[in-house]
Amino acid sequence: MHIGLLVTNTDDTAFAARHPRDAAKFTALIHAARPGWQVTPFDLPKGEFPVSPQEFDGLLIGGSPASVLDDAGWITRLMDLIRTAHTAGIPIVGACFGHQAVAQALGGRVGPNPGPFILGAAETRITAPAPWMADPATIRLAAAHGEQVLELPPDAEIIGQSEGCPVAAYRIGTRVFATQYHPEMTPGFIAALVEEFAPKFPPAVGAAARQSLRAGIEGPRFAEWIARFFEQAAPGAA
Protein backbone atom coordinates (compact mmCIF):
# COMPACT_ATOMS: atom_id res chain seq x y z
CA MET A 1 0.00 0.00 0.00
CA HIS A 2 1.36 3.41 -0.99
CA ILE A 3 0.00 6.44 0.87
CA GLY A 4 0.48 10.04 -0.22
CA LEU A 5 0.95 12.16 2.91
CA LEU A 6 -0.13 15.76 2.34
CA VAL A 7 1.65 17.80 5.02
CA THR A 8 -0.06 21.15 5.64
CA ASN A 9 1.64 22.35 8.83
CA THR A 10 2.95 25.93 8.53
CA ASP A 11 4.39 26.14 12.06
CA ASP A 12 7.99 27.36 11.87
CA THR A 13 8.32 28.44 15.50
CA ALA A 14 11.08 27.41 17.91
CA PHE A 15 8.57 25.06 19.53
CA ALA A 16 8.05 23.22 16.24
CA ALA A 17 11.80 22.99 15.70
CA ARG A 18 12.20 21.15 19.01
CA HIS A 19 9.79 18.37 18.04
CA PRO A 20 9.38 15.84 15.22
CA ARG A 21 7.74 17.30 12.15
CA ASP A 22 4.36 16.15 10.90
CA ALA A 23 5.82 14.01 8.12
CA ALA A 24 7.67 11.97 10.74
CA LYS A 25 4.70 11.82 13.12
CA PHE A 26 2.20 10.62 10.51
CA THR A 27 4.66 8.16 9.00
CA ALA A 28 5.26 6.69 12.46
CA LEU A 29 1.49 6.50 12.98
CA ILE A 30 0.94 4.55 9.76
CA HIS A 31 3.92 2.28 10.37
CA ALA A 32 2.67 1.50 13.89
CA ALA A 33 -0.30 -0.20 12.25
CA ARG A 34 1.22 -1.35 8.93
CA PRO A 35 5.05 -1.36 9.06
CA GLY A 36 5.44 -2.41 5.43
CA TRP A 37 3.43 0.39 3.85
CA GLN A 38 5.17 3.09 1.82
CA VAL A 39 4.46 6.69 2.86
CA THR A 40 5.53 9.56 0.60
CA PRO A 41 5.23 13.04 2.16
CA PHE A 42 4.60 16.32 0.33
CA ASP A 43 5.14 19.69 2.05
CA LEU A 44 2.24 21.59 0.49
CA PRO A 45 2.99 25.06 1.91
CA LYS A 46 6.42 24.79 0.25
CA GLY A 47 4.83 23.97 -3.10
CA GLU A 48 5.40 20.20 -3.04
CA PHE A 49 2.41 18.45 -4.60
CA PRO A 50 1.94 15.01 -6.14
CA VAL A 51 1.79 14.97 -9.92
CA SER A 52 -1.44 12.98 -9.71
CA PRO A 53 -3.45 11.47 -6.82
CA GLN A 54 -3.74 8.30 -8.91
CA GLU A 55 -0.09 7.61 -8.03
CA PHE A 56 -1.29 6.47 -4.60
CA ASP A 57 -3.58 3.93 -2.98
CA GLY A 58 -4.80 6.69 -0.68
CA LEU A 59 -4.16 10.22 0.57
CA LEU A 60 -3.78 11.41 4.16
CA ILE A 61 -4.12 15.14 4.87
CA GLY A 62 -2.77 16.40 8.19
CA GLY A 63 -3.23 19.36 10.49
CA SER A 64 -2.06 22.97 10.41
CA PRO A 65 -2.31 26.26 12.29
CA ALA A 66 -3.43 27.69 8.95
CA SER A 67 -7.13 28.03 8.22
CA VAL A 68 -8.80 26.35 5.26
CA LEU A 69 -10.42 29.77 4.72
CA ASP A 70 -7.07 31.51 4.23
CA ASP A 71 -6.38 33.05 0.83
CA ALA A 72 -3.22 31.09 0.06
CA GLY A 73 -2.19 29.56 -3.23
CA TRP A 74 -1.25 26.20 -1.71
CA ILE A 75 -4.68 25.92 -0.06
CA THR A 76 -6.40 26.60 -3.38
CA ARG A 77 -4.26 23.89 -4.98
CA LEU A 78 -5.11 21.50 -2.16
CA MET A 79 -8.85 22.09 -2.64
CA ASP A 80 -8.49 21.28 -6.34
CA LEU A 81 -6.47 18.16 -5.52
CA ILE A 82 -9.11 16.96 -3.06
CA ARG A 83 -11.86 17.36 -5.65
CA THR A 84 -9.78 15.58 -8.30
CA ALA A 85 -8.94 12.69 -5.97
CA HIS A 86 -12.51 12.31 -4.76
CA THR A 87 -13.89 12.30 -8.29
CA ALA A 88 -11.34 9.59 -9.18
CA GLY A 89 -12.39 7.47 -6.18
CA ILE A 90 -9.05 7.79 -4.36
CA PRO A 91 -9.64 7.18 -0.63
CA ILE A 92 -8.87 10.18 1.58
CA VAL A 93 -8.22 10.46 5.31
CA GLY A 94 -8.34 13.92 6.87
CA ALA A 95 -7.13 14.95 10.33
CA CYS A 96 -7.92 18.38 11.85
CA PHE A 97 -7.07 20.84 9.02
CA GLY A 98 -7.40 17.90 6.62
CA HIS A 99 -10.84 17.03 8.01
CA GLN A 100 -11.91 20.64 7.45
CA ALA A 101 -10.26 20.95 4.03
CA VAL A 102 -12.06 17.92 2.62
CA ALA A 103 -15.40 19.20 3.89
CA GLN A 104 -14.82 22.69 2.49
CA ALA A 105 -13.55 21.41 -0.87
CA LEU A 106 -16.53 19.11 -1.39
CA GLY A 107 -19.27 21.60 -0.56
CA GLY A 108 -19.41 21.83 3.23
CA ARG A 109 -18.70 24.84 5.43
CA VAL A 110 -15.99 25.52 7.99
CA GLY A 111 -16.02 28.32 10.57
CA PRO A 112 -14.99 29.28 14.11
CA ASN A 113 -15.83 27.03 17.03
CA PRO A 114 -19.18 28.01 18.55
CA GLY A 115 -17.43 27.77 21.93
CA PRO A 116 -13.84 28.22 23.12
CA PHE A 117 -10.64 26.91 21.58
CA ILE A 118 -10.50 23.15 22.12
CA LEU A 119 -7.18 21.97 23.52
CA GLY A 120 -5.90 18.81 25.19
CA ALA A 121 -7.60 15.45 24.70
CA ALA A 122 -11.11 15.07 23.29
CA GLU A 123 -13.32 12.02 23.51
CA THR A 124 -15.32 11.28 20.37
CA ARG A 125 -18.53 9.29 20.82
CA ILE A 126 -18.91 7.06 17.78
CA THR A 127 -22.55 7.53 16.83
CA ALA A 128 -22.62 5.63 13.52
CA PRO A 129 -19.70 3.17 13.36
CA ALA A 130 -18.09 2.62 9.98
CA PRO A 131 -17.18 -0.96 8.96
CA TRP A 132 -13.46 -0.30 9.38
CA MET A 133 -13.78 0.73 13.04
CA ALA A 134 -12.84 -1.93 15.58
CA ASP A 135 -14.31 -1.59 19.11
CA PRO A 136 -15.94 1.69 18.12
CA ALA A 137 -17.77 3.06 21.18
CA THR A 138 -15.44 6.01 21.84
CA ILE A 139 -11.96 7.21 20.93
CA ARG A 140 -9.74 9.77 22.70
CA LEU A 141 -7.37 11.84 20.58
CA ALA A 142 -5.27 14.97 20.94
CA ALA A 143 -7.10 18.20 20.15
CA ALA A 144 -6.06 21.74 19.20
CA HIS A 145 -8.54 23.69 17.09
CA GLY A 146 -10.35 27.01 16.91
CA GLU A 147 -12.35 26.13 13.79
CA GLN A 148 -14.47 23.15 12.83
CA VAL A 149 -16.85 21.77 10.22
CA LEU A 150 -20.20 23.53 10.62
CA GLU A 151 -21.99 22.03 7.61
CA LEU A 152 -21.25 18.70 5.96
CA PRO A 153 -20.73 18.31 2.22
CA PRO A 154 -23.34 16.37 0.23
CA ASP A 155 -23.50 12.63 0.96
CA ALA A 156 -21.38 12.96 4.11
CA GLU A 157 -22.48 11.27 7.33
CA ILE A 158 -21.52 12.20 10.88
CA ILE A 159 -19.98 9.16 12.54
CA GLY A 160 -18.65 10.77 15.72
CA GLN A 161 -19.44 13.71 17.99
CA SER A 162 -17.64 15.31 20.92
CA GLU A 163 -18.26 18.08 23.40
CA GLY A 164 -18.16 21.40 21.57
CA CYS A 165 -17.75 19.71 18.19
CA PRO A 166 -20.87 18.09 16.68
CA VAL A 167 -18.94 17.01 13.56
CA ALA A 168 -16.00 15.35 15.29
CA ALA A 169 -15.76 12.64 12.62
CA TYR A 170 -17.50 11.98 9.33
CA ARG A 171 -17.30 9.79 6.28
CA ILE A 172 -18.44 9.95 2.68
CA GLY A 173 -19.31 6.40 1.72
CA THR A 174 -16.20 4.25 1.76
CA ARG A 175 -13.89 6.85 0.22
CA VAL A 176 -13.57 9.62 2.84
CA PHE A 177 -12.81 9.19 6.56
CA ALA A 178 -12.10 12.30 8.63
CA THR A 179 -11.55 13.34 12.24
CA GLN A 180 -11.29 16.81 13.75
CA TYR A 181 -8.55 15.50 16.01
CA HIS A 182 -4.88 14.51 15.90
CA PRO A 183 -4.11 10.77 15.92
CA GLU A 184 -0.47 11.51 15.06
CA MET A 185 0.25 13.41 18.28
CA THR A 186 1.92 11.41 21.05
CA PRO A 187 1.12 11.93 24.75
CA GLY A 188 4.42 13.76 25.21
CA PHE A 189 3.85 16.05 22.26
CA ILE A 190 0.29 17.08 23.17
CA ALA A 191 1.38 17.71 26.77
CA ALA A 192 4.12 20.03 25.49
CA LEU A 193 1.69 21.70 23.07
CA VAL A 194 -0.76 22.39 25.90
CA GLU A 195 1.97 24.16 27.86
CA GLU A 196 2.97 26.13 24.74
CA PHE A 197 -0.61 27.20 23.96
CA ALA A 198 -2.07 27.64 27.46
CA PRO A 199 -0.66 31.15 28.10
CA LYS A 200 -2.47 32.40 24.97
CA PHE A 201 -5.90 31.61 26.44
CA PRO A 202 -7.89 32.24 29.63
CA PRO A 203 -6.59 30.13 32.55
CA ALA A 204 -9.65 27.88 32.42
CA VAL A 205 -8.69 26.63 28.94
CA GLY A 206 -5.25 25.51 30.08
CA ALA A 207 -6.59 23.95 33.26
CA ALA A 208 -9.22 21.97 31.35
CA ALA A 209 -6.63 20.87 28.79
CA ARG A 210 -4.27 19.54 31.46
CA GLN A 211 -7.13 17.73 33.18
CA SER A 212 -8.25 16.14 29.91
CA LEU A 213 -4.83 14.60 29.31
CA ARG A 214 -5.02 12.49 32.47
CA ALA A 215 -7.26 9.94 30.76
CA GLY A 216 -4.74 9.46 27.94
CA ILE A 217 -5.07 9.39 24.15
CA GLU A 218 -5.46 6.54 21.66
CA GLY A 219 -3.54 7.40 18.51
CA PRO A 220 -2.39 3.80 17.85
CA ARG A 221 -5.98 2.53 17.95
CA PHE A 222 -7.02 5.19 15.45
CA ALA A 223 -4.04 4.22 13.27
CA GLU A 224 -5.59 0.76 12.93
CA TRP A 225 -8.86 2.37 11.82
CA ILE A 226 -6.98 4.36 9.18
CA ALA A 227 -5.24 1.23 7.91
CA ARG A 228 -8.49 -0.73 7.75
CA PHE A 229 -10.15 2.18 5.92
CA PHE A 230 -7.47 2.17 3.22
CA GLU A 231 -7.57 -1.62 2.97
CA GLN A 232 -11.34 -1.78 2.46
CA ALA A 233 -11.04 0.80 -0.32
CA ALA A 234 -8.32 -1.11 -2.18
CA PRO A 235 -9.17 -2.60 -5.59
CA GLY A 236 -10.54 -6.09 -5.16
CA ALA A 237 -11.43 -5.61 -1.49
CA ALA A 238 -14.64 -7.31 -0.43
Domain ranges within the chain, ordered by starting residue: 2-233
- The pLDDT of residue 101 is 99
* Mean of per-residue pLDDT scores for the chain: 96
Tell whether the model's pLDDT for residue 236 goes beyond 70: no
Mean pLDDT across the stretch 188-213? 94
Helices (H), the chain: 14-17, 22-33, 73-87, 97-105, 187-197, 203-213, 219-233
Mean pLDDT across the stretch 1-8? 98
- The pLDDT of residue 237 is 63
Q: What is the DSSP string of 157-178?
A: EEEEEETTEEEEEEEETTTEEE
Tell whether the model's pLDDT for residue 235 goes beyond 90: no
74: left (phi over 0), alpha (psi -120 to 50) or beta: alpha
- The pLDDT of residue 12 is 87
Closest residue by Cα to residue 7 from 49, 61, 51: 61
Mean pLDDT across the stretch 161-178? 98
Mean pLDDT across the stretch 207-227? 96
Pick the CATH number of 2-233 from 3.40.50.880, 3.40.50.300, 3.30.160.270, 3.10.450.630: 3.40.50.880
In sequence order, the 6+-apart residues with CB closer than 8 A to the CB of 226 are: 29, 30, 33, 60, 93, 177, 183
The model's confidence at residue 76, banded by pLDDT at 50, 70 and 90, is very high
Tell whether the model's pLDDT for residue 238 goes beyond 60: no
